[in-house]
Amino acid sequence: MNISMYQASIPLCIKSMSNLARILEKGMAHVEARSLDPSVLIDARLYPDMFPLSRQVQIATDVAKGCASRLAGLEPPKFEDNEQTFDELKTRVGKTIAHLETFSPAQIDGSEDRTISFTVGGRPVSFRGLYYLLYFVLPNVYFHVTTTYAILRHNGVELGKMDFLGDIQ
């Protein structure tokens, strides 16, 4: 069985973003149920030198929207990176999902050998499409969604493995 670049990218990114939205909803419910200041979780980190939850969400969404755009040969949309509430983070995730849903298989399939060039941390990088998807995009999306999950779980939000995996049917 063959799998297309579209099948290996867009549905996986949409699923991860959808699961991320549900994880954020649980974080929001947690602070509301306990009358906590939401910024305690939004600004939380697993370790002092790591990015806070808000930045984890921003990076996850940037990588997902960048994936679709770059594989299609387009420039990714820019988001402000100014989210300070759960609602704003969920809106960002929703905008990312809406962006991903605009792509068709015809735009993504055949991008395995497309040269993908952009800047990461002020440093130019260049990949072939398949390598970009398998060794940059998917690990980064999973890392930042997992780290968001871990920050919330570490701070007492009731999350389980199925919140990360989502519907597996």
CATH for 99 = 1.20.120.450
Instruction: Judge whether 167 lies within some domain.
Output: no
pLDDT for residue 169 is more than 80: no
pLDDT for residue 95 is more than 80: yes
pLDDT for residue 29 is more than 80: yes
Instruction: Judge whether 69 lies within some domain.
Output: yes
Instruction: Judge whether 169 lies within some domain.
Output: no
CA dihedral 148→69→110→137, nearest 10 degrees, is: -20
Instruction: Judge whether 108 lies within some domain.
Output: yes
pLDDT for residue 168 is more than 90: no
Instruction: Judge whether 166 lies within some domain.
Output: no
pLDDT band at residue 167, thresholds of 50, 70 and 90? confident
Phi, psi angle pair for 123, to nearest 5°? -115, 130
pLDDT band at residue 1, thresholds of 50, 70 and 90? low
Instruction: Judge whether 168 lies within some domain.
Output: no
Instruction: Judge whether 19 lies within some domain.
Output: yes
What's the gap between Cα 164 and its chain centre? 12
pLDDT for residue 109 is more than 90: yes
pLDDT for residue 143 is more than 80: yes
User: Whole-angstrom Cα distance, residue 145 to residue 106?
Assistant: 28
Domain interval for residue 95: 5-161
DSSP for 72-123, written as a single string: TT-PPPP------SHHHHHHHHHHHHHHHTT--HHHHTT-TT-EEEEEETTE
Give pLDDT tens digits for 31-89.
999 999 999 999 999 999 999 999 999 999 999 999 999 999 999 999 999 999 999 99
Contact criterion met (CB below 8 Å) for 119 and 125: yes
* Mean pLDDT for the stretch of residues 12-23: 98
Total domains in the chain come to 1
Residue 128 neighbours by CB distance under 10 Å: 13
